[in-house]
């Protein structure tokens, strides 16, 4: 048997196969790095898209604290009236009515300031001067029953510090949502580059 020019030995074929396999492994590693980079970029874009959608939804459904601000304005106006009436009382209280009026006004101001508790004082919001000012401002008691001489319960949306906290929280929620929207809208290549 004579060896022809075209015939290859098993060793020759093994060398060729090993070389081709080596080249394919290198090519596969390069392609895998490309795929990994594409997947990482897709993840960044998906997070960015999700952040935009969440923030946009939050901002779309955000309700300005109009009712809270109106309540705060009412509390501020009522407090001024109550303080003026308290200052108009004589320095020396001479009658039980004057003493009762002072206590009523002091409790009313304390409720607005968030430092007074009416429970156990013999008063409630319907019998305080504050309750009267609230009724004059359009707030009506619930559950009133004239046939049983029952005044009902005045709606109470919290003291001045309570409403301030709620307004601050509502505005912070909006500011946070805006910041969450602003961040993905910026073209920040450092932020979008995945860390290895």
Q: Is residue 30 part of a domain?
A: yes
The answer to the question of residue 164 being in a domain is no
Counted domains in the chain: 2
Q: Is residue 2 part of a domain?
A: no
The Cα–Cα gap between 129 and 93 comes to 18
Q: Which domain holds residue 71?
A: 66-158
What is the CA angle 51-55-60, rounded to 5?
A: 150
pLDDT at 151: 61
Q: Do both 70 and 154 map to the same domain?
A: yes
Question: Is 123 contained in some domain?
Answer: yes
CB 116 within 8 A of CB 107: yes
Give pLDDT < 70 ranges for the chain.
1-5, 144-152, 187-196
- Tell me the torsion sign for CA atoms 133, 136, 137, 139: positive
My answer on whether 73 and 150 are in the same domain is: yes
Q: Is residue 4 included in any domain, yes or no?
A: no
pLDDT at 167: 95
Would residue 41 count as lying in a domain?
Answer: yes
């Amino acid at each position: 048997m004579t060896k022809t020019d075209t015939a290859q030995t098993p060793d020759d074929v093994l060398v060729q196969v090993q070389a081709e396999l080596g080249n394919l492994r290198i090519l596969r590693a390069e392609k895998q790095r490309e795929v990994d980079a594409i997947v990482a970029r897709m993840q960044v874009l998906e997070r960015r898209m999700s952040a935009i959608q969440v923030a946009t939804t939050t901002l779309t459904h955000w309700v300005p604290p109009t009712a809270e601000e109106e309540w705060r304005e009412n509390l501020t106006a009522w407090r001024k009236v109550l303080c003026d009436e308290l200052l108009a009382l004589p320095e020396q209280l001479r009658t039980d009515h004057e003493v009762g009026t002072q206590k009523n006004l002091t409790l009313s101001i304390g409720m607005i300031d968030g430092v007074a508790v009416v429970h156990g004082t013999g008063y409630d919001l319907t019998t305080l001067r504050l309750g009267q000012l609230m009724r004059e401002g359009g707030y009506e008691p619930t559950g009133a029953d004239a046939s049983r001489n029952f005044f009902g319960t005045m709606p109470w949306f919290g003291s001045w510090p309570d409403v301030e906290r709620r307004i601050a929280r509502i505005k912070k929620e909006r500011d946070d949502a805006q910041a969450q929207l602003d961040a993905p809208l910026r073209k920040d290549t450092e932020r979008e580059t995945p860390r290895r």
